[in-house]
């Protein structure tokens, strides 16, 4: 088996989705390239390759041949060079000039200009003005690629052929105007990612040889001790060694209320120390931090395209040949070369290609700033169609920090001694109930003995050897031999979760734990039916009585005593009925069901690698109000996408029809082809107006 590696290549010069396809095709054609994704918003390509057959230099050369640039390393956006600034200024000046010459078309000024300026001089002016565009078109044609400028270049040639050099000049002008619009539109898609990246600190203050030294974040290593003072951003993920501070973690969790960080607290890169100071033991830096992983996921979300995006891509692939065919038929039947040129000029495929990604990237970027990580546009599309919501109980509907409320001895041993044995066995378990047992033991000041031979069985319980005895603790399926008593039934009726303890195979105790429902859950669930959710069910490994007590309060059905594979089977059953299933869990125990669902949502994933990786969508803040808000975002986004596609399709086909009939000349056609990009940008901008919601304005 070949050892494939992943390489990121920064790319400059991409203005629309059509550009990404050209770059992807160029890189994919190289021997040794296994897979490649090209991201417009992140301005990079992620390539899986065989390093023995292909390297960075070969990829760079392929990208250059495709007509794009590869800088030495990825850099943040900078002020463009002087010649680019002049080109931009020229574009705006030309826009003003065109506003005049369009009226000139109606008033007949062009005829006089054609008569006043000799044709050879006019042709020379057109060639000089359009040379950069023509050169790119020729290079693309040599590579057997057709771009939107290919059509416009054909229109220019057609106008020059019939002696209408003024019309050709106006077409060239609108090539520049259209390019400016496309670059601006692409830049809007990048802004959310750039805004996130800008939040990351660039330097860190570390302890070296007994003194503090300020260095680049890139030079910080794991186990370095970082010092952070008031008003500074934390540059790494790590654990507080000493100090006390109030930290704003909104960049990670979206939660606007600052938290206190003390010795032993975990802190995250890009969090802001509002007061106090901290000494932090570095655990992760750069792209490995929680914040770095969020940026990476958002910037690469383009790779997960939905059916609507793929439909637009397929449409774009067939669109240009269709336009050329219409132009040929126009000339065949009318012998009107100007009408033929107008057909070629008015058609612009970039608006079709931009219709979906601009809206998707706007929503993904804005969601990330609010603590919702969406790993691709296809998940937004599925969310808008979702009909079933399945939810976990512990850590999802509830706070996830249960407390031990009762200890019922069954063998005459002291409750504290039983609790110490239980805590020892649970020491290495990740389940929330294990934490409750440990906290109860520490709260009583108990000495917890060491445990050996620890073994965990997912969805059942744990066993370990403590002081030479085999200690087992778990649910009633794990320890079916533990007899139930009327007291146990009473505890279950109260909705409490029970843990059964056995020592050396003998029933020893029953521990009862209770958890608090998140206060916003009931209101959030009540909003879901109006957002297309027809069925909501609680899925839990807890016992039936505990599950039913919570489900009855929320007025939803419940299924209890479920193993991870049982949850997967339930998800599959709904999918077999044609339902689109959302699964909401904590991202750890529910990882298999989150992966099986059409869309998995990990609740409270801030700082958790497992949770962020487990599901296509991660809620970094433990706030159920984000669930209905997420569905609203998805439905709004898909509404904008559908309107974008409908508008640009109707607009382009109407323009082609009018041009073919000779109603609009090439000059007006050139002006008209730039308008769909503006329409898409304006329509997609409506999503920005919904960025502020009650989730932001009413934090917990």
The residues carrying an active-site annotation are 392
Token reading at 696: 């932001």
DSSP string, 364-386: HHHHHHTTEEE--HHHHHHHHH-
Nearest to 218 by CA among 277, 279, 288: 288
In the block, residue with structure tokens 């077409």? 171
- Partners of 35 in the beta sheet? 48
Q: Tell me how far apart the alpha carbons of residues 320 and 548 are, in angstroms, rounded to a whole number.
A: 59
Q: Tell me how far apart the alpha carbons of residues 45 and 11 are, in angstroms, rounded to a whole number.
A: 7
Q: Residue 210 in 3-state DSSP? A: coil
Q: Do the bridges between strand 203-208 and strand 211-216 make them parallel or antiparallel, or are there none, so unpaired? A: antiparallel
DSSP 138: H
Q: Tell me how far apart the alpha carbons of residues 669 and 673 are, in angstroms, rounded to a whole number.
A: 6
Neighbours of 83 (CB within 10 A): 8
DSSP 653: H
Nearest to 312 by CA among 649, 23, 569: 649
Neighbours of 653 (CB within 10 A): 13
Tell me the three-class secondary structure of 339-366, residue by residue. HHHHHHHHCCCHHHHHCCHHHHHHHHHH
Neighbours of 396 (CB within 10 A): 27
3-class SS shares of the chain: helix, strand, coil, % to 5: 50, 20, 30
Neighbours of 219 (CB within 10 A): 12
Q: Do the bridges between strand 266-267 and strand 272-284 make them parallel or antiparallel, or are there none, so unpaired? A: unpaired
In the block, residue with structure tokens 């794990």? 478
Nearest to 202 by CA among 224, 221, 190, 219: 219
Q: Tell me how far apart the alpha carbons of residues 412 and 191 are, in angstroms, rounded to a whole number.
A: 66
Q: What torsion do the CA atoms of 310, 312, 313, 318 make, to the nearest 10 degrees?
A: 130
């Amino acid at each position: 088996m070949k050892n494939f590696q992943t390489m990121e290549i920064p790319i400059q010069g991409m203005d629309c989705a059509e550009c990404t396809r050209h770059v992807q095709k160029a890189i994919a054609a190289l021997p040794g390239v296994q897979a490649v994704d090209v991201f417009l918003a992140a301005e990079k390509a992620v390539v899986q390759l065989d390093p023995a057959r292909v390297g960075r230099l070969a990829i760079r050369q392929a990208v250059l041949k495709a007509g794009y640039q590869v800088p030495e390393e990825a850099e943040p956006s900078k002020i463009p060079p002087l010649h680019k600034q002049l080109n931009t200024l020229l574009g705006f000046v030309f826009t003003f000039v065109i506003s005049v010459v369009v009226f000139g078309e109606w008033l007949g000024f062009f005829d006089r200009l054609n008569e006043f300026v000799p044709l050879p001089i006019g042709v020379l002016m057109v060639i000089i003005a359009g040379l950069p565009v023509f050169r790119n078109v020729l290079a693309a044609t040599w590579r057997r690629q057709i771009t939107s400028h290919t059509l416009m270049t054909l229109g220019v040639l057609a106008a020059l052929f019939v002696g209408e050099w003024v019309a050709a000049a106006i077409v060239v002008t609108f090539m520049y105007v259209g390019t400016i619009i496309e670059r601006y539109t692409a830049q809007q898609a990048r802004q959310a990612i750039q805004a996130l990246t800008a939040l990351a600190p660039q330097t860190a203050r570390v302890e070296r040889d007994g003194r503090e030294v300020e260095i680049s974040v890139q030079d910080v290593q794991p186990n370095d001790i970082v010092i952070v003072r008031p008003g500074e951003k934390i540059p790494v993920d790590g654990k507080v060694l000493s100090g006390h501070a109030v930290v704003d973690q909104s960049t990670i969790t979206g939660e606007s209320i600052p938290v206190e960080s003390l010795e032993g607290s975990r802190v995250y890169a890009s969090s802001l120390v509002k007061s106090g100071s901290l000494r932090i033991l570095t655990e992760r830096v750069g792209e490995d931090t929680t914040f770095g992983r969020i940026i990476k996921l958002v910037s690469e979300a383009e790779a997960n395209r939905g059916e609507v995006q793929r439909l637009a891509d397929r449409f774009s692939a067939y669109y240009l040949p269709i336009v050329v065919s219409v132009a040929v038929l126009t000339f065949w039947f009318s012998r009107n070369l100007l009408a033929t040129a107008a057909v070629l000029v008015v058609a612009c495929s970039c608006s079709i290609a931009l219709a979906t990604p601009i809206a998707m990237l706007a929503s993904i970027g804005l969601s990330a700033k609010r603590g919702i990580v969406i790993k691709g546009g296809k998940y937004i599309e599925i969310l808008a169609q979702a009909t079933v919501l399945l939810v976990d109980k512990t850590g999802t509907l509830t706070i996830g920090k249960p407390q031990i409320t009762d200890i019922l001895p069954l063998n005459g041993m002291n409750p504290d001694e039983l609790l110490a044995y239980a805590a020892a066995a649970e020491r290495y378990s990740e389940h929330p109930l294990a934490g409750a047992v440990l906290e109860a033991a520490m709260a009583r000041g108990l000495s917890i003995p060491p445990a050996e031979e620890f073994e965990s069985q997912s969805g059942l319980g744990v066993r370990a050897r403590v002081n030479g005895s085999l200690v087992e603790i778990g649910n009633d399926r794990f320890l079916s031999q533990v007899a139930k008593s009327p007291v146990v039934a009473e505890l279950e009726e109260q909705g409490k979760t029970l843990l059964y303890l056995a020592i050396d195979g003998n029933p020893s105790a029953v521990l009862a734990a209770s958890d608090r429902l998140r206060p916003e859950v009931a209101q959030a669930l009540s909003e879901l039916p109006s957002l297309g959710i027809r069925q909501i069910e609680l899925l839990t490994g807890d016992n039936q009585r505990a599950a039913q007590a919570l489900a009855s309060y929320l007025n939803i059905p419940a299924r209890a005593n479920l193993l991870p594979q049982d949850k997967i089977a339930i998800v599959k059953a709904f999918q077999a009925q044609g339902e689109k299933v959302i699964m909401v869990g904590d991202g750890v125990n529910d990882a298999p069901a989150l992966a099986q669902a059409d869309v998995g949502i990990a609740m409270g994933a801030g700082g958790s690698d497992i949770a962020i990786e487990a599901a296509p969508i991660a809620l970094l803040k433990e706030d159920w109000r984000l669930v209905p808000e997420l569905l609203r975002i998805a439905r709004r986004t898909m509404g904008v996408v559908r309107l974008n596609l409908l508008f640009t399709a109707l607009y382009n086909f109407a323009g082609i029809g009018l041009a073919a009939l000779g109603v609009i000349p090439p000059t007006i056609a050139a002006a008209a082809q730039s308008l769909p990009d503006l329409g898409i940008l304006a329509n997609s901008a409506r999503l920005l107006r919904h960025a502020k919601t009650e989730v932001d304005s009413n934090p917990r």
